[in-house]
Amino acid sequence: MKVAYLGPQGSFSEEAAFRYFTNDDIEWYKSDSIVDVLEAVGEGKADKGIVPIENSIEGTINITADGLLTYDLFVEAELIFPVSLHLLTLKGASLDEVREVWSIVPALAQCRDFIRESKVKSRQFDSTSAAAQAVKNQERRDVAAIASKYAAEVFDLQITKSGIQDCSNNHTRFVVISKEPVKQREDRTKTMMLISPTEDYSGVLSSILNVFTALSINLSWIESRPTKKQLGTYHFFIETQNGLHEEKMTKAIAILEAYGHDVRVLGSYNTTKL
Instruction: Express each pLDDT in 14-27 by its tens digit.
Output: 889 999 998 878 99
* pLDDT at res. 53: 95
Burial label for 156, CB within 10 Å (0-12, 13-18, 19+), is exposed
In CATH terms, the fold of domain 1-83+171-180 is D-Maltodextrin-Binding Protein; domain 2 (3.40.190)
Does the fold of domain 182-273 match that of domain 1-83+171-180?
no
Give residues with Cβ within 8 angstroms of 113, minimum separation 6.
Answer: 166
pTM of the full structure: 0.82
Residue 10's pLDDT band (boundaries 50, 70, 90)? confident
Whether 126 shows a pLDDT value over 90: the answer reads: no
Could you tell me the CATH superfamily of domain 182-273?
ACT domain (3.30.70.260)
**The CATH number of 86-161 is which of 3.40.50.800, 3.40.190.10, 1.20.20.10, 3.40.50.150?**
3.40.190.10
What stretch of H or E contains 114?
helix 112-118
CA distances from 6 to 57, 68, 126, 130 (A): 20, 16, 9, 10
pLDDT tens digits along 189-198: 999 999 999 8
The structural domains of the chain, with segments of one domain joined by +, span 1-83+171-180, 86-161, 182-273
Whether 250 shows a pLDDT value over 90: the answer reads: yes
CA distances from 113 to 40, 108, 118 (A): 35, 10, 8
pLDDT tens digits along 174-191: 999 999 887 778 889 999
